[in-house]
Structures are given as structure tokens and as C-alpha cells.
A and B are shown apart, each in its own frame.
Chain A
Amino acid sequence: MSDTATTTGRAPSVYVPSAEALATVLAPGARPPRPNALSASLTFGWRALLKIKHVPEQLFDVTAFPIIMVLMFTYLFGGALAGSPRDYLQFFLPGIMVTSVVMITMYTGVGLNNDIEKGVFDRIRTLPVWRPAALVGMIFGDVLRYILAAVVILGVGLALGFRPDGGLLGVLAGIGLLVVFSFAFSWVWTFFGLVLRSEKSVMGVSMMVLFPLTFLSNVFVNPSTMPGWLQAFVKVNPITHLVASVRAAMAGSSDAANTMWLLLWSIGFVVVFGSLTMYRFNRR
């Protein structure tokens, strides 16, 4: 408990509050105008970057995990489904990129829940700033993680022989669609992060939602091989629309119908879960 535990070799300097020193910081200054919504959100985003700087281990989720996902499924299914891992990769890489990044979105909820538990959240909520800024900023930080994960997966894919016909532009467009959807989808987790009591339950719910959502889609295999009732689900699954759009973009074409569905889903997630989140945020 000593204040000087980490000073080395010097006489311990005990803090004595001095009235003069405190007076200099207590003199009421003019209050600056409150920051606008964007600047407040970016400041919260800066906080996320600082956290990455101080706790770089948290990047494991967006580096090691995606690499394992790509390697595992490419070599597990490649031979059986497409004759060779390399052939499978041409079909599979956009899908596993979507799966990995969408799975990472759940950490938004976990991080928020952690903030609530630690008490930081109380201070944030008493600040006179644009209310959604803290959450938007948090998701801005996460968007950087999504981009990093996507780039890592792309790198592994290229090393294993993935050759997208769409070239650099097609790949960028694909990653762009993925990031837009992930930003929107993160609002689902901010809501659960606020509603659920512990980090563990947030993880539990996330897994329960994410596993069926990502596996019951067109990520791994062509849906035409599935039974009719399953196809019905796969068809409306937003992940299916996303994967189809990303696949098309990376292949150098475009899939207008799926892209439209994907954007509609994204808007829907932001409107519905964004509102629910803000409702809970204000009323906790």
C-alpha cells in the first residue's frame, strides 16, 4: 500500500497535500464547449488504441485465432470438398474471413461488460458528451481490429495459394463490405454487454448466436447440398448475404441482390440494436 513502493534507492517522498498546489488546480477556469459527436467518438476510439498499446496480448484474438481458423479448415475440408486444399481455398477464403471477423465482434460486448464491472463506465456515463460516443468510439477501435484480422487472413490465404480474380480493388471492396457489416453487427453485442451480468455470460450468449449463424451459411459448403429446411434458414441468414457479396467482390464481379440484403441487414442491426443499446445505456 505504500505510495513509494516503486521508487528505488531514494528517500521515500510522502505526498503531503499542499493547499497552494491544490489551489492552482481548483481555481475555476472557463468551461470549454462540449466536444461534438465525432470528436468525442474519436477520443473514445483513441482510448481503444491506447489499450492496444498497453495490452498488446489482446491482439491474439485478431491474429493467432484467424490464422488457426484458416489453416485448420483449409486442410481439414479442402481435400474432401474440393479435391485439394488449394482449390478449396479459392472458394473458402472469403467465407473464413467473414467467419473469423464476425466472431471477433463479440469482444465488443465483452469489453463493454468489463468496463461496467470495473467502474470506468460510471465515469463515462456522467460525462456531458454525446451519449453514444463511448460506444461508437469503442466500436471504432474494434473496426481497426477487424481490419487487422482481415488483412492477416488475406496474408495467410495468399501464402497458401489464394488468388482472387478481383485483384487489389476487389479484395479491398470485399474487406470494406465485411467491415461495414461488422460495425453494424457489433451493436448486437453492445446490447448484450449492457444487459448481461458477467463477461462469461456475454461470451456464452455470443457463442450460442455466432456458431449457428456462421456455420449454417454458405461459408463452408454450397447450400444446394443441404436439406430444404436448412436451405431456407441459410438463405435468409445475413452471413450468407455477406459471404456471397464478399466472394463476388473478391472474384472481380458483384452480387447486387446479396449486397443489397447485406446493407439492409446492416442498417437494421444499427437501428434496432443501436436503439436498444442506447435505451439500456441511458436507463441502467
Chain B
Amino acid sequence: MIMSKRNTGLAVEADGLVRSFGATRALDGLDLQVPAGTVYGLLGPNGAGKTTAVRVLATLLRPDGGRARVFGHDVVTEADAVRARVSLTGQYASLDEDLTGSENLVLLGRLLGLPKLAARARAESLLAAFGLTEAAGRQVKKYSGGMRRRIDIAASILNTPDLLFLDEPTTGLDPRSRNQVWEIVRAVVAHGTTVLLTTQYLDEADQLAGRIAVIDHGKVIAEGTPGELKSSVGSGTIHVRLRDAGQRPEAEKLLQAALGVPVQLEADPVAMTARVGEEGSDLEASEQAARALGELARAGIVVDDFSLGQPSLDEVFLALTDHPAVAADERDDQLEAAR
């Protein structure tokens, strides 16, 4: 690849970012390369350092160590040049809740340098495109969760940024609102804006992102396309719940033989899980599942519940780190306290 100093085709380059809050290292040598013009996902549990990473890249926090460039501009020494090209939609509504949707957008338009009339026109067309015309005159605090997200994103694309940060854009949204946000993200990236989104859901990263970095304890522990990541942990997981706990040892043996993969025994004495569809397996995950269910039925083992699903973030984590993702929750609380 040819690299020029200013334009390397990378929207974001981070080298060894470190940032601590008190005794907690929220970023512990984070490296990141986000290609321009794509959706890039930062995947990780609460407290993994996703938000801190976004805040450093958006010039809101200074790193203690390492460096980061956005479109070639250093986030610390050339913060203003970075700010001119990025927008951030934070986890919490980043608009003035006391003001109406329309007032918020006009205000931001004016701050970005639009003359009064142009700011008003821009606000109107954004509200229309985001289905908020009717709510234009209502205070943002009276918006529903989905509407809030939309007005927040509308505010973020007011100046059509080159890079849009979306910090957990769908956390807490109902499925319909979540799909709306996904559609908007796809439209945004189709028009040339790079999107860096953080998420706790593998599913969401899978739906939207071209590449994903899995973050844990402030470091990238895996990076690749969604396909590459999933195949490293298997494309699916079978969950089985038996009626009789006494039959579990037998069921475990049968499943292991039928699937050719280790079966994990859950804390619940009637539950087990197994990863299926790993790279190299000649069968689709669904075929493996069908075969497993058949074997259990033939042996007279009663199954109360059987499901085949995508590996959850938890399972990806377990596979990548040998520790479950939820353990990081405590760190999150510490982080909050440290801030």
C-alpha cells in the first residue's frame, strides 16, 4: 500500500493509547486502524474502554500515553482540525432537553457557521428526513427513546461530518427503533461518512460493520471482519435444556459424539451448550443441530428447550479471553466513580 503522510486512507489511526482514571486503566495500549468510508465496530462489554476510546478520538479526553490521528490530524495537538471533521452522538442524549428539537438543530447550525435562514432551512429538512417534523416544536425531553436517538443523529450529521462516532446507538431501544437507527447508519455510510460505532451486541456489529475490533480491558484483543471473528468462535451455539438432570452425563456424551466439539455444562444442572459451525466443519450449523436433536430423541432423553443461535458476545469473549464478558461490569462502576 502506498502511504502518504496526510492521507493514508485511514479515518482513524491510534497507536498505544493509554488513559487512566485513578487506579483504573481504561485504555491500556489501544491500537486501531479504521479505514475511511466504512462502518467500523468497537465491540466489548461495559467498562471495556469503548467509550473512553471514542472520547479520546473525539478530542473530549486527552490520552495519558500513545497518540491518535483522525484523517491525519493529531487529536491533541490539532484538536480543532479534528473537531471540524467529526461529530459525536454520545450514549446519553447530547442535546439540550429543555429546548425543542427544532431549536436544538438551529442552534447547532448557527454554531457551525450557518446564517440564520440557512440554519432554519437545514433544521427543517433534517427533521423531515428523520420523521420528526411533527415533533419539531416539542421539547426534546418529551421525545420517546427512538425519537431522541434520531434527533441526536440528525444533529450529528448537520455538517455532514467525515467521521461520525456513535456510542452505543441502540442500547435501550426497542427493536423497531433499533432497525430505524441501523437504516440511518447505512444511509450515512453510503454517502461517504465513516462511522465508528461502539456496541455490546455482536449482532449489531455484524449487521452494520465492515470490520470489528473486540475490546477488553482497554486493549484490542481481536480484529477482523464479522465473518472472521465469528468463525473463530463458531458461527452458532446450541443451547439444550433437559427435563431430567440425571440424564445430562449421557446427553453430554451423545452430543459430543454427534457434533465432534466439546460440550459445555452450565451451572444450571439441566443445561448445556455447544459451539457449532466452526471453520472446517463440513456441515452447516443447522444440520449439526438437527443431528444432535435426533440423537437425543433416539436415546429417549427428553428435551424441554432447544435452540440454535449466533454466538453471543459473551461466548465470543469466552472464546477469545477465557473469561466471561460480564466480569467487566465491576470495572465500569469503578470507572464511573473515578470520573
Contact mask for chain A residues 51-80; partner B; CB cutoff 8 A; 1 contact, 0 none: 100110000000000000000000000000
Q: Is A15 an interface residue, CB under 8 A from the partner?
A: yes
A15 touches B188 (CB 8 A): no
In the complex, the chain A residue whose C-beta lies closest to that of B188 is: A26
B188 touches A119 (CB 8 A): no
Q: How far is the CB of A212 from chain B (nearest CB, A)?
A: 31
Task: Select B60's contact among A43, A50, A122, beta carbons within 8 Å.
Answer: A122
Task: Select B176's contact among A5, A14, A18, A34, beta carbons within 8 Å.
Answer: A14
Q: Is A11 an interface residue, CB under 8 A from the partner?
A: no
A120 touches B129 (CB 8 A): no
Q: How far is the CB of B323 from chain A (nearest CB, A)?
A: 31
Contact mask for chain B residues 124-161; partner A; CB cutoff 8 A; 1 contact, 0 none: 01101111101000110010111100100011010110
Contact A43 to B111, CB < 8 A, known contacts A1-B145, A26-B187, A123-B94: yes
Q: SS class of chain A's interface: helix, strand, loop or mixed?
A: loop
The size bracket of the interface on B is 35 or more
Contact A35 to B88, CB < 8 A, known contacts A50-B99, A127-B83, A284-B60: no
Task: Select A35's contact among B97, B113, B174, B183, beta carbons within 8 Å.
Answer: B113
A47 to B108, CA, bound (A): 10
A120 touches B95 (CB 8 A): yes
In the complex, the chain A residue whose C-beta lies closest to that of B180 is: A17
Contacts of B177 in A (CB 8 A): 1, 3
In the complex, the chain B residue whose C-beta lies closest to that of A39 is: B110
Q: Is B200 an interface residue, CB under 8 A from the partner?
A: no
B99 touches A118 (CB 8 A): no
Contact mask for chain A residues 15-36; partner B; CB cutoff 8 A; 1 contact, 0 none: 1111101111111110111110
B191 touches A23 (CB 8 A): yes
A279 to B107, CA, bound (A): 25
A29 to B119, CA, bound (A): 13
Contacts of B190 in A (CB 8 A): 19
A126 touches B110 (CB 8 A): no
B174 touches A1 (CB 8 A): yes
Q: Is B263 an interface residue, CB under 8 A from the partner?
A: no
Contacts of A27 in B (CB 8 A): 160, 191
Task: Select A47's contact among B99, B118, B145, beta carbons within 8 Å.
Answer: B99
| A contacts, CB < 8 Å to B | 1-3, 5-7, 13-19, 21-29, 31-35, 39-40, 43-44, 46-47, 50-51, 54-55, 118-120, 122-123, 125-129, 133, 283-284
